[in-house]
Structure 1
């Protein structure tokens, strides 16, 4: 499982974002989610802003995942067959906040710029249809939503079928961790956290992460709300370190069994 965090340019200074990314990098985080269409300005100003952001993130070892939609494509001069403006920005993955819903999704996924395309996990039919139309499965990833208001998030049993579906296809699934730090924020003026499932809203981050590891169908765990603090990064690292040790021990046991046969 990889680790990620989220930043919100419309609410945070470049200095705050850089400091947060540096802290995350210390603890093995290598994926950053952000919203591209939330930044105002001309096309040139938006490209320049994200070029600087992605340069900073790449220097620290991050992949950059940017939230977009088809309306923003029109605004920025992109299309399903031309993602050059996002390549210029340095974006590694585009999260489609609303798909085309037709054969253009396959064209988008197979883009020559080599940008990964991410869909909401609820878009099973969209992804299946794109694959049926020749989309390269290796260029597809999925991510669950996060839910800022209490009692609005689904329960685990509701997301499990989605996880299983994409896991069988070999398509990565991402899920959001909820920082318990008081005063954290997301893209909206609500501070009830940003979990993917309601069961995670009020439990320590290490418990959330252990649950995700136990699911065995989650490939990326991201802090949805910002800013998680160093104590939470420490807690995440301890869980991940123990998970690696457990896996290594299992591998050694398997090898020992094989040698004795």
Structure 2
């Protein structure tokens, strides 16, 4: 898998230069290094002052050290007086990469990959366009993949389509990007407000940190952009923090009266799902060895549900201190041998479905 990167989207028509500068500074301090821009929605003959403002923002971002991506179609080039084969001239504007929203012929794209600028190809259509480009021997290191974002509820990609189309690029050794949506931001390329701009439908209403965690843990996305502007300060911190998450991280709610040994097991730093996986629950077994003491039976529940967290108690001496994550609803098999200690927050339950044997995981206790 490629190195993870975080990005944002900027829409200069909706914000002042000072607002944009402040936003860029906050995001840069919180691990964001890429920016998505688009000119497509401005039409073939956009307002000259607005284009000038865009160019000011391109250069402002570049001076801050951002990697700038510009979404274009063939009609975008004449706005700057460029011909289609003069993609390298966008570098003078502070642009590092062109996202080809409306694809050119495969041979042309292959030729452009040698023109000293990166190119992004649309992933979401899940067609053979990328393999057709490869027939013409492009400079592969300059080719990237990027999903669309979808403002309309229920119009973003279904999970199977997202995974299949992304895998097509990853299997070819090509970096991929996708979008998450801020729940606080309201501005995108549209003239009307847009609460979320996401690539994958099942993450649309999740907190932004959970959206990003999910995309990264598909192991098919290396760059995640926020599709709308502007995140709240809290979202900036939460999203920025996903860059350093190297395990499955689950937000959880815990009982208020945990035993000290239960708290120690929850905080254990080497949780992983045993490779001999069960369909009933996730087992983290090393606390049995590394944590000392007895687990007194308490908080016994006769019925457990998907995402519930339990610790094996002293009623089962051999397995005592194992941490268990329940994978079934209305699960009654463990009876009085486990203490119920809490549950994974509902918004992180989709993430649990991505976890496999040997995957490492950790918990974040949130109120």
Normalised by the shorter chain, which TM-score bucket? 0.7 to 0.9
Aligned to 1:232: 235
Alignment partner for residue 55 of structure 1, among 52, 56, 59? 59
In structure 1, distance between residues paired with 2:240 and 2:98:
27
Cα deviation for residue 123 of structure 1 reads: 6.0
Is it true that 1:211 corresponds to 2:223 in the alignment?
Answer: no
Aligned to 1:141: 144
2:177 alignment partner, SS class = strand
Q: Normalized per residue, which structure has more strand?
A: 2
In structure 2, distance between residues paired with 1:195 and 1:216:
18
Cα deviation for residue 173 of structure 1 reads: 0.6
1:16-165 superposed matches below 5 A = 16-38=19-41, 40-42=46-48, 46=51, 48-111=52-115, 114-121=116-123, 122=125, 124-165=127-168
Task: Kindly provide the CA deviation profile for residues 83-141 of structure 1, in whole angstroms up to 9, marking residues without a partner as x.
Answer: 24412212100011101124211112221xx1101111026422211211121111011
Alignment partner for residue 201 of structure 1, among 178, 200, 204? 204
Change (3 A) 1:27 1:104: same
- TM-score, normalization by structure 1: 0.85
In structure 1, distance between residues paired with 2:38 and 2:218:
27
Cα deviation for residue 244 of structure 1 reads: 7.7
Residue ranges of structure 1 left out of the alignment (5+ in a row) = 251-261
Q: Which has the higher contact order (CA 8 A, sep 6+)?
A: 1
Q: Is the 8 A contact 1:150 1:192 kept in 2?
A: no
Q: Is the 8 A contact 1:179 1:205 kept in 2?
A: yes
Change (3 A) 1:49 1:25: same
1:6-17 superposed matches below 5 A = 6-17=9-20
Q: Is the 8 A contact 2:32 2:240 kept in 1?
A: no
Q: Is the 8 A contact 2:208 2:239 kept in 1?
A: yes
1:175 alignment partner, SS class = strand
In structure 2, distance between residues paired with 1:75 and 1:233:
33
In structure 2, distance between residues paired with 1:90 and 1:176:
22
In structure 2, distance between residues paired with 1:45 and 1:230:
27
In structure 2, distance between residues paired with 1:73 and 1:240:
34
| CA RMSD in angstroms, aligned pairs only | 2.5
Q: Is the 8 A contact 2:126 2:165 kept in 1?
A: no
Q: Is the 8 A contact 1:200 1:208 kept in 2?
A: yes
Change (3 A) 1:61 1:197: same
Change (3 A) 1:142 1:194: same
Residue ranges of structure 2 left out of the alignment (5+ in a row) = 250-269, 272-367
Larger Rg: 2
1:212 alignment partner, SS class = helix
Cα deviation for residue 37 of structure 1 reads: 4.2
Cα deviation for residue 245 of structure 1 reads: 11
Q: Normalized per residue, which structure has more helix?
A: 1
- TM-score, normalization by structure 2: 0.61
In structure 2, distance between residues paired with 1:105 and 1:98:
11
